[in-house]
Structure 1
Amino acid sequence: MSGRARIGLLFGSFNPVHIGHLILAEHFATRTDLAEVWFVVSPHSPFKEVADLLPERERLRLVELAVAGNPRLRAEDIEFGLPRPSYTIATLDALRLRHPAHDFVLLMGADNLPGLPRWQESARLLAEVDIYIYPRPGTALPALTLFSRVQVMKAPLLDISATSIRANLRAGHSIRYLVTDAVAEVLMAQKSYL
């Protein structure tokens, strides 16, 4: 890559990573100005319970398996070395130090936008970073007047959730086509979430 590459950051626990995440990342990596999309695996989101999370390294490994062979997608573990819970602004600062030649863009579901002003150092975040918002089923977009660097992007509207995949695994139902074959193989072999 020459010049400053724009890298999309898709944050999440990826518990587990699923086809909806991959379709979304591929869409942004191939249909926008982004050179790549990085899956930032969060050890612990300040907005989520820890109890149902697979260990962080296992979730990272599943993301690595899911994106293998796609040079525009990558798993990123930078939050594993940061204080917890993980705050987006601290992660961005760490990524900028590690990759000074890149410009980072946050990829965010429309359902997260209304709560953004309550995030750690939200004013700084909103001033420094472009944010691409994608639609979420059943979520209306708030007025964007407060968010000068936010752009609403067209993206596939997918109603696939990690919660339902975990429930399917517990019930002994198929998760085929909800996750990649490589991810399904590991989840089934390790009896994850049972």
Structure 2
Amino acid sequence: MSQTTTLTQPVISVAMREQILGLDRKKQVGIFGGTFNPVHNGHLIMAEQVGTQLGLEKVFFMPDNKPPHRDPKRAIEAKDRVEMLKRAIAGNPLFALELIEIRRGGVSYSYETMLALKKLHPDTDYYFIIGADMVNYLPKWSRIDELVKLVTFVGVKRPGYTPSSQYPVLWVDAPGIDISSTDIRHRVQTGQSLRYLVPDPVIDYIQQEGLYFD
């Protein structure tokens, strides 16, 4: 009598199946921190270019509560900066808000923030977006040697700035849009037009609340 051999299929768990298919990769998310006083179209262009070029799932705009390197007297209330951000990013599914620094209060240090976010979201890789002008200041950032282990810095190239750093930085090209929040505030104070420099809903909010007029 001949014997028949029954071949059984190995049991593959959902986790193993996802690993085989490459579905267990971490989320790729951008963090764009700043005072956003106010947010302008240059910020939006930078975030869009980084997000699309790197294929990120989201780019979170993260307003600080009190910046460590600037005069806090120049920044308006956080609630106004957050409201302008909400209006600026509405309608773009790539963009979202991260308010961890506002909720925590006090001076906003990126190392503390990213350490907290990594603990909250261990399944996420963070790409920290900064302008080329800020790359030169990285040596002065609090606990920078530890911070670079938590995030991948993304530098947005800008005319007049050499794309190099002693720290690992992933460089991205973007259209050279020379807009600054300082210039926007000056334009408000001197009665100049903000059209095409700031999203229309943000302009409406600035005028409605009488921001930056004094």
Q: Do the two structures share a fold, i.e. TM-score over 0.5?
A: yes
TM superposition score normalised by structure 2:
0.83
**Residue equivalent to 1:69:** 91
Q: What's the counterpart of residue 88 of structure 1?
A: 110
What's the TM-score once normalised by structure 1's chain length? 0.91
Q: Does 1:112 align with 2:134?
A: yes
Task: Flag structure 1 segments of 5+ consecutive residues without an equivalent.
Answer: none
Secondary structure of the 2:29 match is: strand
The one-letter code matched in structure 2 to 1:192 is L
Report runs of 4+ in structure 1 exceeding 6 Å deviation.
none
- Structure 1 segment 86-165 matched on structure 2, within 5 A: 86-142=108-164, 144=165, 146-147=166-167, 149-165=168-184
Q: Please, which moves more after superposition, 82-91 or 164-173?
A: 82-91
Count of residues in Structure 1 that have an aligned counterpart in Structure 2: 191
- Counterpart Cα distance in 2 of 1:85 and 1:137: 31
Structure-1 separation of matches of 2:149 and 2:27:
20
What is the identity, as a one-letter code, of the residue corresponding to 2:192? H
Q: Identity across aligned pairs (percent)?
A: 34
**Alpha-carbon separation, structure 2, partners of 1:23 and 1:193:** 23
Amino acid paired to 1:125: L
Provide the rounded CA distance (Å) in 2 between the counterparts of 1:114 and 1:177.
29
Structure number with greater Rg is: 2
Residues 133-176 of structure 1: per-residue CA shift (max 9 Å, x gap):
1123432334x3x32x3111112221101111111111111111
**SS of alignment partner, residue 174 of structure 1:** coil
The one-letter amino acid paired with 1:182 is: P
Kept in 2: contact 1:137–1:159 (CA 8 A): no
Aligned-residue CA RMSD in angstroms?
Answer: 1.7
Per the TM alignment, residue 83 of structure 1 is displaced from its structure 2 partner at its CA by: 5.1
One-letter code of the match for 2:102?
Answer: F
CA deviations 1:107-158 (Å, max 9, x no partner) are 111212222122111111123321111123432334x3x32x3111112221
